[in-house]
Amino acid sequence: MTGSLLALWRSPRIRIDAALIVWCALLVVARVWRAGAPAYFFLCWNLFLAGIPAGASVLFEHESRRGGSRALAALWFAVWLVFLPNAPYLVTDFVHLHPRPPVPLWFDIALLTSFAGAGLMLGWGSVATVQDTLARTAGRLAGWIVAAGSLLLSGYGIYLGRFLRWNSWDVLSNPGALLDVVYGHARGRDVSQPASVTIVYGVGLVLGYVIVRAIAATQPPPEGR
């Protein structure tokens, strides 16, 4: 446990993620102070869920190193995959946007944009960590297959969460009913909307991730390396 906590603390990406979360929390606090009511407070919970795959990906990387536990690596990979859709899910919280005086609309747009951006960065960052880890242990092709596949599945996860109100923990608390829904879609039952949402969000997430990785690859290495 101590080693896992140290892995989280030493991760530069986790520190950046923490800064994003703090900024978003400050925006919510400022809004509550101005309005005198806790509107949009639910975004903090959504962002907390988005942070779970970020932490799980770092722990997966830690346990995948020489001397790590394969069982724990598999556990953290499963946690990462199940909770990953919570990160891009924040983009869909724009459905709650409408004028809410006395807070100006421009502030709420900035608030939701900050949370959506933080969710995307948390999600893409965790995918990059898992992909790079798998590239070292299983090859580059395996890394890209998992990265692209997980983001496409996240598109389906967004549909399950936004339209059917399923949560990640339902995988454990109500697996039978959830599997019945997934099986029905796989059999082509009422598949039009879930397929459309999965394709639009899933492909968008993959393309955005590829762009982010391409930009990162063009950056020069730090001096001294």
Domain contains 133: yes
Domain contains 223: no
Domain contains 225: no
Domain contains 224: no
Domain contains 222: no
Q: Is the pLDDT of residue 76 over 90?
A: yes
Domain contains 39: yes
What is d(CA 188, CA 107) in angstroms, rounded to the nearest whole number? 42
Domain contains 105: yes
Q: What is the DSSP secondary-structure string of 84-144?
A: TTHHHHGGGGGGG-S-BTTB-HHHHHHHHHHHHHHHHHHHHHHHHHHHHHHHHHH-HHHHH
Nearest to 209 by CA among 146, 167, 138, 133: 146
User: In total, how many domains does the chain have?
Assistant: 1
37 confidence band (pLDDT: 50, 70, 90): confident
Q: Is the pLDDT of residue 225 over 50?
A: no
Domain extent, residue 110, equals 2-217
Strand partners, 11: none
Domain contains 42: yes
